[in-house]
Amino acid sequence: MSSGILVLCDHDGGAFKSTALELIGKARELVPATGGTITALVLGHVGGDGLPADQVLAVTGPEFGTYDTGAWTAAMAAAIAKADPALVLATASVLTKDFMPRVAARLGLGLATEVVGLEVRDGAVVGRRPVYAGKAIFDVTVTSVPALFTVRPNSFPVPAAGGSPPVTALDVAIGPNDRLTRVVETLAPQNTTVDLTEASVIVSGGRAVKSAEGFDTLIRPLAAAFGAAVGSSRASVDAGYAPQSEQVGQTGKTVNPSLYVAMGISGAIQHLAGMRTSKVIVAVNKDPEAPIFQFATYGIVDDIFTIGPLLAEEVKAALAR
């Protein structure tokens, strides 16, 4: 009988991301309902040190050094067959958007994506999922066994790293239909900041920043004061103030930070779609009728060029205490 939870653990060259710990921490809360143990699935790395899981399935080989749709689909399918879990958890990301639906289709399983909550009701795991650009939330139950869920980063507390669970090498058969694409080159990102989708604090700038220079002298120093990632609205990206990699919104990245600071962002529905589930939203805009204030936890009606430097100084002073 299927039991336990299988967690896909993201890492950078063997250094496990906070999302891996986040999902294992949530799995620890849910496993009394599913029974069994927590199995971490690690692709492209042989170890599991620091993961508070009960065991690790490690998949290595040239096909897993970089992301490959077919290989990762085959690996997840093999891990499910090996662990026989009741529940599978993975971080909602660009990669899981690509291969997890393929896993569901291959194995005939149900999949709920982009959930921000998981709880047990009447013996079943229920996911909470934003829809309609975050304007509504609905609960979804996956009736297949196992049930597949992808979870937005920063949805749950991150437990401390620790443990050295036993590692079992998992052999994955890669068929000809799994290698229909070929990776010819992998380009490392030029910046060293945390990925927006995983950032716990984000400072974003909008059209009111007025120029790329304004973005660099106002938004980036404020983000540095917070130790935050930098985001932007589509308007500021289209105007050339910030790169597209920093865009938050319906045509950019969906984020779920603990704190989102919106500087000079009006709050168009397209932008709200990407950040509405932020735990705390601070908005600064000199237009008191800006839609962003309807969703802000705290709002400041003033000029961003006045408030930004003052806020940066206050944050630095507070963190220095």
Q: Residue 306 is encoded by which pair of tokens?
A: 């006045």
Residue 192 pLDDT: 57
Residue in 27, 13, 46 with CA at minimum distance from that of residue 165:
46
Residue 199 pLDDT: 94
Domain ranges across the chain: 5-178, 196-320
Superfamily of domain covering 196-320:
TPP-binding domain (3.40.50.1220)
**Residue with tokens 């060259």, as numbered in its chain:** 13
Q: With beta carbons less than 8 A apart as the criterion, state whether 203 and 231 touch.
A: yes
Task: Decide if 5-178 and 196-320 have a common fold.
Answer: yes
Bridge-based pairing state of the strands 136-141 and 124-131: antiparallel
pLDDT tens per residue across all 321 residues of the chain = 789 999 999 998 889 999 999 999 999 999 999 999 999 999 999 889 999 999 999 999 888 888 999 999 999 999 999 999 999 999 999 999 999 999 999 999 999 999 999 999 998 999 999 988 788 999 999 999 999 999 999 999 999 998 899 999 999 999 888 888 877 887 776 665 678 999 999 999 999 999 999 999 999 999 999 999 999 999 999 999 999 999 999 999 999 999 999 999 999 999 999 999 999 999 999 999 999 999 999 999 999 999 999 999 999 999 888
Question: If you count them, how many residues does the chain have?
Answer: 321
3-state secondary structure 261-319: EEECCCCCHHHHHHHCCCCEEEEECCCCCCHHHHCCCEEECCCHHHHHHHHHHHHHHHH
Residue 191 pLDDT: 62
Residue 153 pLDDT: 96
Q: Whole-model pTM above 0.95?
A: no
Residue 237 pLDDT: 96
Does CATH place domain 5-178 in 3.40.50.620? Answer: yes
- Could you tell me how many helices (H) and strands (E) the chain has, helices first? 8, 17
Residue 190 pLDDT: 66
Q: Residue 143 is encoded by which pair of tokens?
A: 């009736």
